[in-house]
A and B are shown apart, each in its own frame.
Chain A
Amino acid sequence: MINISTEKKIQWCPGCGNFAIYTALKHVLEKNIENGKIESEKLVLISGIGCYGYITNYYDTNSFHTILGRVPPLATGIKLAKPELLVIGFAGDGDAYSEGMSHLIHAARRNTDIKVIIHNNSVYGLTAGQFTPTSPKGFKGSSTPMGNIENPINPITLMLVSQATFVARGYAGDISHLEFILEKAIFHKGFSFVDILQPCATFNNTYKYYQNRVYRLEDIEYDNNNDRESAIVKSFEWGEKIPIGVFYDREEETFEEKIKFA
């Protein structure tokens, strides 16, 4: 049995959504190392800053724990230099959608062959509870005691209009579905984007909120994942019902392939 866990003690709050994301990716990687589809030495995991950032300590693979917001260009540099590597980046809603948002958009439109997994818990946990670009209006955080006055962004729509070639949303409360999405994302040739709705057990516990709303796109015969316009329309759905699953999946020539002849 392949085991890619390290012996490091995982230090997240009990009930943290990071556990589900960590476990889902671990299962997907171990399964595919086992069946020979992934060579473990070719794996590189990158993380930015946040509670989730320590995730690279818990996988026994090549890793680079970098600075806030800069996961996409670091991943791009690694992939450009050694295209045979499988480069998977973790980022939070704080670094991917705030400080490093432009990098995410540019990596998407280049179709760099990197995988970006977002731990989206709509709160800065490590700095004790401030609002992020995905916090809802009215969110009472430690820097917005009267409630957040800003509109949240929609990461799925953002990535679709930025021409990402694989766009999906997962939910940390549905591990088996998350594994299904992550496996697809990893084997997609080109830029893969997975936004994962993740409760923060301490500062923004959204389990109940999401539990009652999420449904799987795969359960409704959603067949628009080849058509960007329809995917964009679907991405607006957010409220009583929140779709999770693969919104868009279409292969195109990658940045690394094009750069060889540019």
Chain B
Amino acid sequence: MKKTETSHKTTKGKRLSFGEKKSSLKVIEPFRDESRNMNDILVLRDVSASYRKSNIIEKVNCNVKKGDFIAVTGKSGSGKSTLLYVLGGFLRPSTGLYLFENKRVYRGIAEIGLGTFRRKNIGYLFQDFRLLPFLTIEQNIQFPIYFSGEKLHKERVRFLLDLFGLEHRSKAYPGSISGGEAQRTALARALMLEPKLLLLDEPTGNLDLDTESEIIHELIKLKKRGFTLICVTHSPRIRECADIVWHLENGKMLISQNSGKKKKPV
């Protein structure tokens, strides 16, 4: 435990590194691509995917570096969520290639191996939080650890409660907390297993301005800690805080770099 606490101090301002590093997925064959950089955490090449025929992405190409904060924007039905599902290992693309840390994600059949991929690499924040109503805030946060096969570190839970200002609500149930608290709980849950990639589906979609500011503040803190964030949003304030903006229109992706200085969250 002492070692863990030291780890927090020394990694301040960098990627959150509580506990031991997760073992990486088994390498089957490195993908060779000239356009790929070694710092890329994920690469999409000509990825097309559809979900319920309405949300379609077509031949999407992109590289994401470790520590990037990406905002995904676009009209409703433009394929933002579909893209997030592909990245999160929930939806197999119909064509194209998805590499995560130089390894193919959708290499098996059906859902085989995707559970492990999600557990080891992905933190997912749902737009509607999706907290389990019969668990307390603390239990919701530690929920992913139940399936990870890892030992539960109470210190880690306390650290996340503290990080998101939820310690006073730890024994409350989701039904009795505010939208902002629920969103922060969901965010803490997504971070419980220290994912390499954090996927956020409209994290401020249903929130008022004050709560939205709180969440944006948390996202910037996470970015500073070295997390890679991909955030589907309609919020112009999140878009302004992001390093890169992916704009989806009719399933096509337009990438733009935020070259100016980041605006401080309100």
- Chain A complexes with chain B: no
